[in-house]
Amino acid sequence: MRELLLVVHIFLAIIWAGGIMFIGWGVFPATLKLSLARQRYFLISLMKNTHYLFTLAGTFVIFTGILLGTVFGPIKTWGFLWHTTYGNIFIAALIIGLITLLWGMLVGYREMMIIFKDEFLWKEAEKGNKKPLIGQLIRLAALESVEVVGFVALVFLMVAF
Ligand code: HEM
C-alpha cells in the first residue's frame, strides 16, 4: 500500500511541477511564433483548461505526502515532528509545498490572466508598441520563478528524506 501511494505521489508531482515548467519553458516560447491575437487566445484557453488540473495535482501531492509521512510513515507524535531530521524535512516540505501551490493559484495564475485580458497592453503591442507588454511578461516570469524555486527546493528535500 505504501509503495502504491509513493508511486501516485511521484506521478502527481511530475504532472504538477513538470506541467507548469513545460508550459513556461516549452509552450510559451513556441507561442511567440504566432500572431499576437492567436498567442493571446491560445494562452488564455490553455491556462483556463490546465489551471484546475495543476491545482488538483498539487493538492494531492501534498495530501499523499502527508499520508506518506504520517499514516504510512514514522511520524506518530508531535515530538517526532519537531525533534528528528525526518520530521524537520517533512515540515519544510509541507510549508514549501503549500506556499508553492498557493502562489501558483493566487499570484501566478491571477496575474497571468490580468495581463492576458488587458486590452490596452495587446492593442498597443499590435500597433507596434510592445514595450508595456514585454515589461509585464518579464514581471510575470519573475513571479512565476518563485514556483520554480519551490519545486527545486522540494526535490532537494525529497532526496534528503
Ligand atoms: C514537487 C513536489 C514533490 C516531488 C517532486 C516529490 C517527490 C518525491 C519522491 C521522488 C519521493 C521518494 C523519495 C525516496 O524514497 O527517497 C517522495 C517521498 C515523500 N514525499 Fe514527496 N515530493 C514532492 C512534494 C512533497 C510534499 C509537498 C510533501 C509534504 C507534504 C512530500 C512528502 C513526502 C514524504 C513524507 C515522502 C516519503 C519519504 C520517506 O519516508 O522515505 N512530498 N517525494
Cβ of 161 below 6 Å from ligand 1: yes
Mean pLDDT, residues 61-69: 98
pLDDT given for residue 32 in this prediction: 86
Q: Which residues neighbour 46 within 8 Å (Cβ) at sequence distance 6 or greater?
A: 23, 27
The reply to whether ligand 1 has any atom less than 6 angstroms from the CB of 157 is no
**Position 16 pLDDT exceeds 90:** yes
Q: Is 93 in the pocket of ligand 1 (CB under 6 A)?
A: yes
Q: In 3D, which of 69, 53, 66 has the Cα closest to residue 19?
A: 53
Residue 106 CA, ligand 1 centroid: distance in Å: 24
- pLDDT digits 0-9 by tens, 18-38: 999 999 889 988 988 888 889
The predicted model gives 139-154 an average pLDDT of: 94
Alpha carbon of 81 to ligand 1 centroid (Å):
16
DSSP string, 47-58: HHHHHHHHHHHH
Ligand 1 atom with least separation from CA of 74: 40
CA distances from residue 51 to 2, 43, 58, 68 in whole angstroms, order as listed: 29, 11, 11, 26
Question: Which stretch of DSSP H or E encloses residue 30?
Answer: helix 28-31
Half-sphere exposure (Cβ direction) of 60: Cα atoms closer than 13 Å: 17
Please indicate whether residue 13, judged by its CB atom, sits closer than 6 Å to ligand 1. Answer: yes
DSSP state of 84: S
For 42, other C-beta atoms within 10 Å of its C-beta total: 15
- pLDDT (tens digit, 9 = 90+) per residue, 67-121? 999 999 999 999 999 999 999 999 999 999 999 999 999 999 999 999 998 999 9
Domain ranges of the chain: 2-160
